[in-house]
Amino acid sequence: MENNTVTQVPDGRFAVIEEESSIEVELEPIEEEASDADVNSPNDTTNSADEKGVLCRHLASSYLRKEGKFYHRSKPTAAMSASDMKRTAVHRIKRELPQIELTAELWRDVVKYAVEDVHDDATQSIPVWDGRIECRPDVPAGLIHDSGTASINSWSPPAYRSQENVTPDMSMLEDLLARVFVQASDRALFLDWLAYSLQNEAQKPAWSVLLFSRTKGTGKSTLCRLMRLLFGEENSHSLNGIEKLTGRFNKTIMTRKFITCEEVKLKPGTNQGNAIKTLISEQDVAVEAKGKEIEAIKQVCVFAMTTNHFPHWIESDDRRFLVIDCDHPGHASGPDREDFQSFMKQFHKWMEVPQYIASVWSALMQRKPSNSFNPNSLNIAAIDTPIMQQLQAESGEVLQQALAELLKERGIFAASLNDLRKIFTEDLKTNPNRIPHFMNDMRWRSVRSKWGGVDCARAIWVHPDYQVANGRVTGPDGYDQPVDRAEELEIIE
């Protein structure tokens, strides 16, 4: 640690000299004729000790140290020397604690106790950083202490929540949903989901909302903006698509509480589609930061997405997406656009007032969800909206068509149950429990046959125009090929 010297400059201020540079701290001139009683008064000593404690706590709650470098918790990627840390700290203290008169002597005592001395008071000493960043809405502090080290809490309370005398009111939100959501049942379920996510910020729902409209200008992005304000913009992240979310170096994103992905467009069976499903439903995930090793974290992210493309990539039995129809006549080129645009201008101005955001939050915190609401499993069988029914019908057709084309392309006219499982999990990225449904719909039939020198009948699905006998597949135009050997024996009871 550097040696500091304190000197008085002509105008009565003090400068702390460090390594041929100085930190000038604005101070009141010292009165030269102060009496001994004034200098040594008990009140002055008490105030000085109190101020020292406040400043030490400020440093200990704002900065961390690791391997000789210092970091401010708001900028964990910017390493600083001890000298640079002191310089930034002085400016932050003057801005954030203007009521404290930062004398050169007080600052020297604070630096010595909070930075240089070794003691066991974690609230008065800059802690050692364990390298972790966590989103912990259940912890109000910016640092999370554990056995002498600390991790950074990326969550911070939104400023609007500190307002007093707030009247619960979500009439503007309800008005927006009445205009944007086509189905009334979607509005109630969405509010249950949003209220639960805000009331239980230390947890996460296991399903997400996907706002869909083929037309643009329907208010989807505005609703996402409001949700970011409710969770706190500092706790939220907005993305275009999901590439950055499901790709490498996603640690910064995954340590936020609320994430919006706009203009999502995926194809069935893609790795990205499966990755986003895992992030939505699982708490323990692997993340990576640039220049760092992959690490496992516990994430509590809430996801909301928008798209202008029908989500064929969602499987018919997938319980992780509530697709909400937002194709109303007030869209950018619709017959009700003038009325809708007039409301949206009013709504955007309304969103700029923190008091109004606090009113919505207060109302949502008091909302009691319906008895059928389950944050851990979306009951798609009970959702009878046209778009969810269409999704369940079309997603199965798309996957079935993909299966038929894949089998034809590979020249497969007879497939063991084991081979079909691999195709469903590795190629189609879908649940292998759907094998009987898909194969029956394509009119393939399940038979038991022996092949590959195994004296045991095994399950095999056969194309309607082909047959299996004596370990061979035969069919039109003299087709005659051996049945491939399966890795595992599958018996049909």
| pLDDT greater than 70 at residue 486 | no
Lowest mean pLDDT among 186-190, 297-301, 366-370, 458-462: 458-462
Write out the DSSP string of 362-391. HHHHHPPPPTT--TT---GGG---HHHHHH
Average of pLDDT values for 115-128?
94
**What percent of the chain stands above pLDDT 70?**
86
Question: Which residues lie below 8 Å from residue 14, measured CB to CB, with a gap of 6+?
Answer: 6, 7, 8, 24, 25, 27, 103, 104
Q: Residue 440 — very low, low, confident or very high, per pLDDT cuts 50/70/90?
A: confident
pLDDT digits (tens, 9 = 90+) for 365-385: 999 999 999 999 998 878 989
Residue 145 has pLDDT above 90, yes or no: yes
**Cα separations (Å) of 3 from 19, 64, 71, 476?**
8, 21, 21, 92
Beta strands across the sheet bearing 414-416 = 414-416, 458-462, 445-449
Asked if 149 and 82 touch (Cβ cutoff 8 Å), the reply is no
Supply the pTM of this predicted model. Answer: 0.73
Asked if residue 143 lies in contact with residue 64, where contact means CB atoms within 8 angstroms, the answer is yes
- Using alpha carbons, list the distances in angstroms from residue 240 to 16, 140, 224, 243: 48, 30, 12, 8
The type of residue at 149 is T
**Cα-based distances in Å from 34 to 41, 54, 123, 266, 328:** 11, 26, 35, 76, 77
Length of the chain: 493
The chain-wide mean pLDDT, for the chain, equals: 85
Least confidently predicted of 1-15, 100-114, 458-472: 1-15
Q: What is the pLDDT of residue 29?
A: 39
Cα separation, 191 vs 368, in Å, equals: 10
Mean pLDDT, residues 223-243:
96
| pLDDT tens digit sequence for 335-352 | 999 999 999 999 999 999
Q: Where do the domains of the chain lie, and which CATH numbers do they carry?
A: 5-129 (no CATH), 171-384 (3.40.50), 410-482 (no CATH)
In sequence order, what are the residues at sequence separation of 6 or more whose Cβ sits closer than 8 angstroms to the Cβ of residue 274?
429
Rounded to 10°, the helix 171-180/337-351 angle is 150
How confident is the model at residue 395, as a pLDDT? 63
Query: pLDDT class for 470, splitting at 50, 70, 90?
Result: confident
> Which of these ranges, 166-170, 227-231, 465-469, has the smallest mean pLDDT?
465-469
Residue 347 has phi, psi (to 5 degrees) of -65, -40
pLDDT band of 13, cuts 50, 70, 90: very low
Q: Tell me what pLDDT residue 269 has.
A: 66
Question: pLDDT value at position 313?
Answer: 83
Tell me the pLDDT tens digit for each residue of 173-232: 999 999 999 999 999 999 999 999 999 999 999 999 999 999 999 999 999 999 999 999
